[in-house]
Amino acid sequence: MSDLLLTDCRLATMVPGGAPFGAAEDGAVLVEGGRIVWAGPRAEAPVDKPVETHRLGGRWVTPGLIDCHTHLVFGGDRSGEFEQRLNGASYEDIARAGGGIVSTMTATRAASEETLYASALTRLAGLKATGVTTVEIKSGYGLDRDSELKMLRTARRIGREAGVRVRTSYLGLHAVPPEHRANRAAYVDKAVDDILLAAHAEGLVDAVDAYCEPIAFSVGEVGRLFDKARALGLPVKLHADQLSDGGGAALAAKYKALSADHVEHTTEAGVKAMAEAGVVAVLLPGAFLMLRETQPPPVELLRRHGVGMAVATDCNPGTSPVASMTAALNLACVQFRLTPEEALAGATRVAAQALGLGEEAGTIEAGKAADLAVWDVERPAELCYWLGKPLLHRRYLAGAAA
């Protein structure tokens, strides 16, 4: 790949400890072999040979945004359940009546891999248009071996062909499928000892996830899955304390999870455990909005105890049909009272940590992948301010315009 110099730009490097947003006015970025080799003031750029130069007209450049929690691959949609909730039904009511995740399971099982890929691209287009260069994609809507593998293969294909980096998560314990309702232990056995092993053998799994709630899976059941993941050398993540304080944050801390996600009902004890274990809190304001929840995550406790806060879309068919990363940033600020700098860090530097990519992505500095977003804004806070306005000028993935 030819060398590249981005110049005549302003940098929001998101490197902590300096100016707000890690800002550098009149900056430049030098890229070689798809990686950043230098970033800083334009006058100091160490260019000693001809390079391809992109002059960016004073635009702001940030790290490419990272959506670290999505369910991007699924069949069908659940707009009917959206109507039910607006007419008074709760998420728990719908789930217990056979809707929710299980209704998406039915559509996902029926869909071909090609259909899943094509439908995921329509949602991915919204993420890419809002600056995303890395996306995490979970399974968890197949709930049997063939369908879970089909979802994960589709996610891998997206990473190969669709102009983004993809990290996959095997969401092994998401819901109990109807055929196992009379014997949920048999399903847990299958998810842990059969499907995970098959997915890992195919190289389809970057992390292992689970849904720990009274309407989903217990601490003990999730522990079994996480023990198997640990034996396979796979990191874990957890849907934790979204609807109740079920001890999810403490469980995530016990297993030194990459992240605990949602965490609306996490107590101070759970926050302290996360801090001690280095677990990132992934905040998902789209689900909070769509479910009309009233208990926000304990943001002040997370700040006080030094827990990193990532922000993600939770793009899914039931509780967060959000396909815009900048919308998620806006909602994180408006609903959860994050500052714009915290929110943008949550979609770059901290989101990279939540995927185990802290050494690879999330800041503009030497050694990182040259995954960058160029914006038509006058200040970085605009990325959290506008709701629906097109702001992206260009994305770079490994130094190539994408």
Does residue 75 contact residue 104 with C-beta atoms inside 8 Å?
A: yes
Q: Is 316 one of the annotated binding-site residues?
A: yes
Does residue 137 contact residue 158 with C-beta atoms inside 8 Å?
A: yes
Q: Is 239 one of the annotated binding-site residues?
A: yes
Residue 118 CB partners (closer than 8 Å, separation 6+): none
Does residue 135 contact residue 120 with C-beta atoms inside 8 Å?
A: no
Q: Is 242 one of the annotated binding-site residues?
A: yes
Residue 322 CB partners (closer than 8 Å, separation 6+): 286, 290, 313, 314, 315, 328
Q: Is 13 one of the annotated binding-site residues?
A: no
Does residue 238 contact residue 280 with C-beta atoms inside 8 Å?
A: no
Instruction: Supply the DSSP symbol for 189.
Output: H
Type of residue at 265: H
Query: Helices then strands (H, E): number in the chain?
Result: 16, 15
Q: Is 174 one of the annotated binding-site residues?
A: yes
Q: Is 348 one of the annotated binding-site residues?
A: no
Q: Is 265 one of the annotated binding-site residues?
A: no
Q: Are strands 23-32 and 132-138 parallel, antiparallel or unpaired?
A: unpaired
Q: Is 305 one of the annotated binding-site residues?
A: no
Does residue 274 contact residue 260 with C-beta atoms inside 8 Å?
A: yes
- Which residues lie across from 40 on neighbouring strands? 28
Q: Is 319 one of the annotated binding-site residues?
A: yes
Does residue 239 contact residue 209 with C-beta atoms inside 8 Å?
A: yes
Name the binding residues.
69, 71, 78, 141, 174, 239, 242, 314, 316, 318-319
Report the binding-site residues for Fe(3+).
69, 71, 239, 314
Q: Which residues are annotated as a binding site for Zn(2+)?
A: 69, 71, 239, 314
Binding site as annotated, residues for N-formimidoyl-L-glutamate: 141, 316, 318
User: Residues marked as binding for 4-imidazolone-5-propanoate?
Assistant: 78, 141, 174, 242, 319
